[in-house]
């Protein structure tokens, strides 16, 4: 038996499949942003939180940042953690710091500020803009520095980690904390540092 609807022929099997597909689509949750993961780093309280939508799902205290604090005026070698909005651009599980989640730093905003202040040339600014437009990692060897991210302490001294801000601008967690964070991080995960 076939059913004719608007010149189309539907067999009972096709009709059953269509109904099943519609039911699956109707029962699927609609993404409301509640599944979006964001990492929020507070450089004054020295905390790192993982937010899933509006819900805090994981929190670490006593993190370490750059030995000279955090600032929007960051330059290569100044050991300051950059403030702003970033995303995870690469992940390395085999690092001297145990694990490494690299930022897409320097951002266009940092590069444009450095250019306006005469710290960066037009050619380097253009390379950074082109990298972002193409979805690539920006150059890591500019006046602003690079190779910044979130990492563990590797074989470092846990007591130093607990007492001092010791990094060259990265955000450091204990090895156990970075392992726990791994389940929540992927390339593209948003990171806010304030």
Distance CA 112, CA 110 (A): 6
The tokens for 57 are 């799902």
Q: Judge if 63 and 151 occupy the same domain.
A: yes
Answer yes or no: do 96 and 185 share one domain: yes
* Domain containing residue 64: CATH number: 2.40.440.10
Give the model's confidence band at 35: pLDDT under 50 very low, under 70 low, under 90 confident, else very high. confident
Residue 11 shares a structural domain with residue 89: no
The Cα 54–Cα 133 span in angstroms is 29
| Same-domain check for residues 43 and 25 | no
Count up the domains in the chain and report the number. Answer: 2
* Same domain membership, residue 152 and residue 91: yes
Question: What is the domain extent for residue 100?
Answer: 37-105+145-193
**Does position 19 have pLDDT exceeding 70, yes or no?**
no
Lowest mean pLDDT among 32-36, 44-48, 83-87, 181-185: 32-36
Question: What's the confidence (pLDDT) of residue 34?
Answer: 56
* Res. 4: pLDDT tops 60: no
Claim to verify: residue 11 and residue 64 sit in the same structural domain:
no
What's the pLDDT tens digit per position in 124-162?
A: 999 999 999 999 999 999 999 999 999 999 999 999 999
- Residue 137 placed within a domain: no
Residue 34's alpha-carbon distances to 57, 85, 152, 162, 180, in angstroms, are 12, 19, 28, 33, 21
Q: Are residue 59 and residue 11 in the same domain, yes or no?
A: no
**83 & 166 share domain:** yes
Do both 68 and 46 map to the same domain?
yes
Could you give the dihedral angle defined by the CA atoms of residues 69, 154, 188 and 148, in that order, rounded to the nearest 10 degrees?
40
């Amino acid at each position: 038996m076939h059913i004719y609807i608007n010149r189309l022929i539907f067999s009972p099997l096709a009709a059953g499949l269509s109904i099943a597909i519609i039911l699956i689509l109707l029962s699927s949750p609609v993404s409301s942003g509640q599944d979006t993961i964001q990492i929020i780093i507070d450089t004054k309280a020295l905390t790192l939180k993982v937010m899933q939508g509006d819900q805090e799902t994981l929190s670490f205290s006593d993190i370490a940042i750059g030995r000279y604090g955090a600032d929007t005026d960051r330059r290569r070698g100044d050991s300051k953690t950059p403030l702003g909005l970033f995303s995870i651009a690469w992940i390395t599980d085999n690092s001297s710091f145990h694990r490494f989640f690299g930022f897409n730093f320097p951002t266009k905003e940092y590069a444009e500020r450095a250019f306006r202040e005469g710290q960066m040339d037009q050619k380097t600014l253009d390379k950074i803009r082109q990298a972002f437009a193409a979805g690539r990692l920006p150059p890591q060897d500019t006046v602003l520095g690079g190779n910044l991210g979130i990492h563990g302490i590797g074989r470092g001294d846990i007591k130093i980690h607990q007492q001092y801000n010791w990094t060259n601008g990265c955000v450091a967690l204990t090895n156990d904390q970075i392992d726990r964070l791994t389940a929540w991080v992927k390339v593209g995960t948003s990171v806010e540092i304030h």
